[in-house]
Amino acid sequence: MNCETRDIPKMRERLTELVYRYAFQYSENPGFKLAHGGTSPFYFNCKKVTLDPEGQYLIGNLIFEALSDLELDGVGGLTLGADALANAAAYTSWLRGGPVQSFIVRKSRKDHGVIASIEGKVKAGNRVVVLDDVVTTGASTIQAISACRRAGFEILGALALVDRQELDGRQNIEKEVPFLKALVTCEEVMRIHRQTAL
């Protein structure tokens, strides 16, 4: 894709294609075991998209556009899922003339050197959006939200690369923050899957 092109609907369509091709798997039987212990006929592992150059270009621009109406200081979330998203968004924000810091929320506090749960230049009082690669129950997003609250951040909302649209993930997150935006939904990926399976 041309680096000067910022046709947002086309970028979302292309990102959805990449998620379908490289991050999505479907199997009715036996299904996939998920982190919360349940099973599902579909599975998303987004690393092949979030760590890909084109994927990062699309993700960075789409996050920047999705959050462009906010006065924002930082984006980040629970490592490892949110790291590539936050870095892509921060890099794009610099190129687009509206720098936003990226940050990492550790799964457990570092116990040596400077004890910290969150890494980056963000500080108490900063306005942030919490990122995640995949939302199922919302547990990892909510863990990151809780860490950001303890750090004194003002949490404006959350954004996911993929919303699986099941197990009340969106509802659980929206009990904690004003909104959850998603770049790609499971419904959009399943639409491609059904068309491809014909």
pLDDT band at 186 (very low <50, low <70, confident <90, very high): very high
CA 116 → CA 2, 29, 49, 197, distances in Å?
A: 40, 43, 29, 48
Say what the pLDDT of residue 110 is: 57
Tell me: the pLDDT tens digits for 60-70? 999 999 999 99
Domain ranges across the chain: 8-197
Pick 104 or 32 by higher pLDDT. Answer: 104
Statement: residue 4 has pLDDT above 80: no
Q: What is the mean pLDDT of residues 30-50?
A: 87
In CATH, the architecture of 8-197 is: 3-Layer(aba) Sandwich (3.40)
3-state SS of the chain is CCCCCCCHHHHHHHHHHHHHHHHEEECCCCCEECCCCCEECEEECCHHHHCCHHHHHHHHHHHHHHCCCCCCCEEEEECCCCHHHHHHHHHHHHHCCCCCEEEEECCCCCCCCCCCCEECCCCCCCEEEEEEEEECCCHHHHHHHHHHHHCCCEEEEEEEEEECCCCCHHHHHHCCCCCEEEEEEHHHHHHHHHHHHC
17-32 pLDDT, tens digit each: 999 999 999 998 868 8
Q: What's the pTM? A: 0.93
pLDDT band, residue 2 (cuts 50/70/90): very low
